[in-house]
Structure 1
Amino acid sequence: MPEKWFTGVVTKIVEETYNTKRFWIRVPDRSSFDFKPGQFVTLDLPIHEKMNKRWRSYSIASHPNGTNEIELVIVLLEGGPGSTYLCTQVTEGTELTMRGPLGVFTLPEVLEKDLFFICTGTGIAPFRSMTHHLHNHGIAHPNIYLISGSRYEKDLLYKEEMMKLHAEMPGFQYIPTLSREDWSGRKGYVHAVYEELLADKRPANFFLCGWKAMIDEAKQKIVAMGYDRHDIHLELYG
């Protein structure tokens, strides 16, 4: 059965960075919006006459909490009709046509191997959902490494929140990595970080979310390190 479309109402918008907004969307027809951390919703936006050119999918950035409200984090892409509409036309109270939850980019049933969450930009959204879910429910987990790549520190999303989790959550490491800015943290690209951490070639599960170029390179490097492609799970942006 194809997923049915329903109406969501924007209840709150917060400017997270100079080019990124957080949107809280409530689904009035549901008492709770149930989803698995890592899943996404698809929005049908009034940006084109052809149906399939109106659809935009976004990972749910919030964790399942029993309410009928979810959070999305959206970056304004230059020349991107979907993000331009959302970031410049949508206000609190705007109704959006949407469907979901969708997708199988979710945590393994059994958490045995170390987890490497590798992302760029808004690709942190599903990992934020997964990490909070594990933490809130006290779910036993192996080591988790959240390697978040951006160009500049101002681009890092949920930085303070992730640093707090890093301090509070045993076995969780948040490793922000900047490619264009000299700072006190990791410099360069995300690939060098997981290559260093996995010099011992221990068993690992890889979750990749972000821009295609990063994901393509990561897939090649991870397989070259000797890991099976079945250890790699991905969600592509753009």
Structure 2
Amino acid sequence: MASQPWRTGTVIRIEDETYNTKRFFIRVNELESFDFKPGQFVTFDLPIHEHVNKRWRSYSIASWPDGTNVFELLIVLLEDGAGTNYLFNEVTVGSELTLRGPQGVFTLPAHIEKDLFFICTGTGIAPFRSMLNYIQLHNIPHKNLYLIFGCRTKKDLLYHEEMKALAKRLENFTYMPTLSREGWDGEEGHTGYVHSLYEEICKKNNEACETLEHLQPASFYLCGWKAMIDDARKKITALGYDRKSIHLELYG
């Protein structure tokens, strides 16, 4: 596949999502429509280093294809991150950014014939927000969809109200936020880490299976930090699923 050309994008809006996370809306002026597949990412060439390979930063697209030339990114400020510090402190509405994309193969299958588990932490929710809204808006046939989203506290939740509303509109979609360092104070949610949630669902679904070859078909999409992904891969294979059922996008 030929690499995408570098283009210029203009920041047309910036919104605070949480205390340390912003939503950047970027317009690609030279295109009438910025076409991409849900789950893909863009790469910026930021003026943060003299060496090219140390200037590139990639971010998953948080919006979904809508026929326009605007897309959204969800970015968290990393204390020691040269890229995010530049974006948070130097970029304003009207700023121009050099970008390349869309890129990546972390995308939905052509036909959704299995249960899909979207497992993420932090801003790893971005590609799954794109996928889920795309499925809902285009009435794509699907099996069970699970979004298992882990973060530390309620103030770290991203797109929380939107995902709760989507769960009411999208058939067979279950939104499962889980907090590792805080309770919910009466609001519906889970505590602990993401792993126990998909393990419980899979074990319940597969109780009647006589052999590993007859497990309920499922695919697992993982997006987040390396430690979470490494643990998830081990636990999913321990459930009896092979590595081909696991798809991942690594952050950091």
**TM-score, normalised on structure 2?**
0.93
Tell me the distance in 1 between the aligned counterparts of 2:238 and 2:140.
Answer: 32
- Give the match for residue 226 of structure 1: 240
Tell me the distance in 2 between the aligned counterparts of 1:68 and 1:46.
Answer: 24
Tell me the distance in 1 between the aligned counterparts of 2:144 and 2:183.
Answer: 28
Listed as ranges, the matches of 1:114-193 within 5 Å are 114-183=115-184, 184=187, 185-193=189-197
- Give the match for residue 19 of structure 2: 18
2:123 corresponds to which letter in structure 1?
T
- Give the match for residue 7 of structure 1: 8
CA RMSD of aligned residues (A): 0.7
Local SS of the residue matching 1:198: helix
Measured after TM superposition, the shift of residue 167 of structure 1 is: 1.0
Local SS of the residue matching 1:92: coil
- Give the match for residue 217 of structure 2: 203
Measured after TM superposition, the shift of residue 24 of structure 1 is: 0.1
Instruction: Determine which structure has more spread, i.e. the larger CA radius of gyration.
Output: 2
- Give the match for residue 214 of structure 1: 228
Measured after TM superposition, the shift of residue 146 of structure 1 is: 0.2
- Give the match for residue 194 of structure 1: 198
Local SS of the residue matching 2:87: helix
Measured after TM superposition, the shift of residue 110 of structure 1 is: 1.7
Tell me the distance in 2 between the aligned counterparts of 1:7 and 1:186.
Answer: 42
**TM-score, normalised on structure 1?**
0.99
Structure 2 unaligned runs (5+)?
A: 207-215
Tell me the distance in 2 between the aligned counterparts of 1:106 and 1:161.
Answer: 21
Measured after TM superposition, the shift of residue 2 of structure 1 is: 2.7
Local SS of the residue matching 2:224: strand
Indicate yes or no: 2:25 matched with 1:27: no
Structure 1 unaligned runs (5+)?
A: none
Task: Name the count of aligned residue pairs.
Answer: 238
- Give the match for residue 36 of structure 1: 37
Local SS of the residue matching 2:150: strand
Indicate yes or no: 2:83 matched with 1:79: no
